[in-house]
Amino acid sequence: MDLNGSINDKNSNHDNDNRINKLNIPNGLKEMLIDHKFNIDRLHDISPEDLSMTLGIDASVARIIIDAAKELHDDN
């Protein structure tokens, strides 16, 4: 077992969770994104249709999530 790899994966997941939690969207949507292993870069590049199909949400809600991710991505 590669302990360093495991620690790095946990740190990476924690960093990603922190960035997702900075999104200006409801907490339930943040939890869905974290559960589905989304990150800000992936949200920046996905279409609303693909996100809505993946999460089982309306495309207009997916657009709100993507816009929030792009805003956070562009600020960093």
Residue 6 has pLDDT above 50, yes or no: no
The pLDDT tens digits of the residues spanning 10-39 come to 445 556 678 999 999 999 999 999 999 999
Q: Model pTM greater than 0.85?
A: no
Q: Give the domain range for residue 46.
A: 3-75
The pLDDT assigned to 32 comes to: 96
Write down the residue that tokens 């279409």 correspond to: 47
Instruction: Compute the average pLDDT of residues 49-73.
Output: 95
Q: How does the average pLDDT of the chain come out, rounded?
A: 84
CA distance 72 to 20: 9
Would you call 56 helix, strand, or coil by DSSP? coil
Rounded to 10 deg, the angle between the 59-75 and 27-35 helix axes is: 80
Instruction: Select the more confidently predicted residue: 23 or 9.
Output: 23
Number of domains in the chain: 1
